[in-house]
Amino acid sequence: MAIEPLIDAGTIARRVAELGEAITRDFEGHDVIIVPVLKGSYVFAADLARQIDLDVGVDFLAVRSYGDSQESSGVVQITSDLSHPIEGKHVILVEDIVDTGLTVSYLRQNLVTRHPASLKIAALLHKPSRTRVPVDIDYLGFTVEDVFIVGYGLDHAQKFRNLPYLAVVTDDDP
């Protein structure tokens, strides 16, 4: 399998710092709960949380939508739910990448029924060319082309999550 670097670690760090500053400004005087969607967003969420200068709680959601293939099944299943209620809380859902938009729009609808005070979406990456359900992303890192991305938490068949930068899979052969 061949990969090609796309966005280096320094560029990611600078962008994540900007997103953290924006969240800090927007929620001044409030606590926030960040909800990373596992597994892909764990690296982004860890870095983002440390760039937010507020009281930040963390709770996790795990979903299954892809298996080990590169195509969205269109079916989203919560495989591990939040451990605490979010009623009355300011919640920021943290995604690695918004591709078709199916996952985020499903999760948004689901979380809204739990009556948070507010619900915002942070996503490291967005592939607008693949949109099937339009999603408003409140805090977006980078827009990318229709390529398969790995690194900085994102995997291909569970590999590459620990790359410190973002890369493109250029060749699917082993």
Q: Which residue is catalytic, options 99, 171, 172, 173?
A: 99
State the helix-helix crossing angle for 42-49 and 9-26, rounded to 10 degrees: 60
Q: In the complex with ligand 5GP, which residue's Cβ is closer, 9 or 54?
A: 9
CA atoms within 13 A on the CB side of 66: 21
Q: Is 99 considered catalytic here?
A: yes
Q: How far is the CB of 127 from ligand 5GP (least distance, A)?
A: 6
| Residue 172 to residue 108: CA distance in whole angstroms | 32
E strand residue ranges, the chain? 2-7, 32-38, 56-58, 61-64, 77-80, 90-98, 118-126, 139-143, 149-150, 166-171
Q: How far is the CB of 88 from ligand 5GP (least distance, A)?
A: 27
Q: How far is the CB of 30 from ligand 5GP (least distance, A)?
A: 27
Q: How far is the CB of 39 from ligand 5GP (least distance, A)?
A: 8
Q: In the complex with ligand 5GP, which residue's Cβ is closer, 86 or 123?
A: 123
For the purposes of burial, counting CB atoms within 10 Å of the CB of 146, is it exposed (0-12), middle (13-18) or buried (19 or more)? exposed
Chain contacts with ligand 5GP (rule: CB under 6 A): 40, 65-66, 72, 95-103, 148-150, 154-156
Q: In the complex with ligand 5GP, which residue's Cβ is closer, 29 or 134?
A: 134
Q: In the complex with ligand 5GP, which residue's Cβ is closer, 29 or 109?
A: 109
- So which residues are the catalytic ones? 99
